[in-house]
Chains A and B, each alone.
Chain A
Amino acid sequence: QVQLVQSGAEVMKPGASVKVSCKTSNYTFTDYGMNWVRQAPGQGLEWVGWIGTYTGKPNYAQKFQDRVTVTTDTSTRTVYMELRRLRSDDTAVYYCARGPHSGTLDFWGQGTLVTVSS
C-alpha cells in the first residue's frame, strides 16, 4: 500500500522558516509528482505547490512563489517543503499528496500541523 509519512508538528515564531518532510514508500518514487496542500483551522484546502520527482522541477502557487521551496531527495524517497518568513496566518495543517500537477491527488500524507505564534 502506498504510504506518505510526514514529519511531526512544529511551533514556530513569526519570521522563522519551517521545513516539512514527506517520506514515501511502496511505489516507484519518480513515477509520480508530489503536491503540497494546506488547510487553516476551520477552512478549506489550499494548494501550495508541486514538484516533479523525476525532473526536480517545481511549480508554485503565485501566492507562495517568493516564500516556498519544494525539493526532493531521490535516495531517501523524501519530498520537502520549506516555507519562509512565517506569519500567524500560515498556521495550518500541511499535507503532501501524490499526483501530477494537472491531475488527481490520489494518496495523501497524514498532515503536519504548523503553528506560528509569538
Chain B
Amino acid sequence: SYVLTQPPSVSVAPGETAKITCGGDKIGSKTVHWYQQHPGQAPLLVIYYDGDRPSGIPERFSGSNSGNTATLTISGVEAEDEADYHCQVWDYSSDNVEFGGGTKLTVL
C-alpha cells in the first residue's frame, strides 16, 4: 500500500503561518486532498486537488504538492484552526484510498 507520512503535531502562534506536510513517494504525481477535524466532529474537506478550496473555506487555507511532499498552509492562523488535519490520496496501484496519520495543530 501507499504510505503517507505526516508529523504528529505542529504548533503555531495566532497570526503566524502553519505548514503541515504530507510525505509520500512521488506524491507530486498524485492528487492530494486535506481534511480538518475538530474533536468529536466529522472531517471537513478544506483543500481538494492539491490546492483548490471548497466554497466556504477561508482564503487563509492553501495547498501545494511537488516531488515527495504535499503541504497544507494556513496563513494568519486563528484559534478556531486548532484541529487535526489529514491528507488523503487515491493509490491507483491498489485502487484504494489512503490517509496520512493525521497532524494535530495547536494554536499557542
List A91-114 residues whose CB lies under 8 Å from chain B.
Answer: 95, 97, 101-111
Whether A101 lies near B43 (C-beta < 8 A) is no
Interface stretch among A10-18, A24-32, A45-53, A77-85?
Answer: A45-53
- 11 pairs, A vs B, C-beta closer than 8 Å: A45-B35, A45-B88, A47-B97, A59-B96, A61-B96, A61-B97, A101-B95, A101-B97, A105-B33, A106-B45, A110-B42
Complex Cα spacing A46 to B88, Å = 10
Question: Number of contacting residues on A, CB 8 A?
Answer: 23
Pick the contact of A104 from B48, B100, B101 — CB < 8 Å?
B48
Whether B99 lies near A102 (C-beta < 8 A) is no
Whether A102 lies near B90 (C-beta < 8 A) is yes
Whether A47 lies near B33 (C-beta < 8 A) is no
Would A108 and B96 be within 8 Å (CB), given that A44-B86, A44-B101, A44-B102 are in contact? no
- Which residues on A sit within 8 Å (CB–CB) of B86? 44-45
The interface size bin for chain B is 20 to 34
- Which residues on B sit within 8 Å (CB–CB) of A50? 97
Q: Mark A51-63, 1 if CB is under 8 A from B, else 0.
A: 0000000010110
Complex Cα spacing A33 to B49, Å = 18
- Which residues on A sit within 8 Å (CB–CB) of B45? 104-107
Whether A104 lies near B49 (C-beta < 8 A) is yes
Would A104 and B33 be within 8 Å (CB), given that A95-B42, A109-B42 are in contact? yes
Whether A45 lies near B99 (C-beta < 8 A) is yes
A35 contacts chain B at the CB level, 8 A cutoff? yes
B29 contacts chain A at the CB level, 8 A cutoff? no
Closest Cβ neighbor of B97 among chain A residues: A47
B54 contacts chain A at the CB level, 8 A cutoff? yes
Complex Cα spacing A95 to B44, Å = 12
- Which residues on A sit within 8 Å (CB–CB) of B31? 103
Cβ distance B55 to chain A, nearest Cβ, rounded Å: 10
Question: Considering the complex of A and B, which 7 residue pairs feature the smallest CB-CB distances, nearest first?
Answer: A47-B97, A108-B42, A44-B102, A102-B90, A45-B99, A104-B48, A44-B101
Whether A111 lies near B42 (C-beta < 8 A) is yes
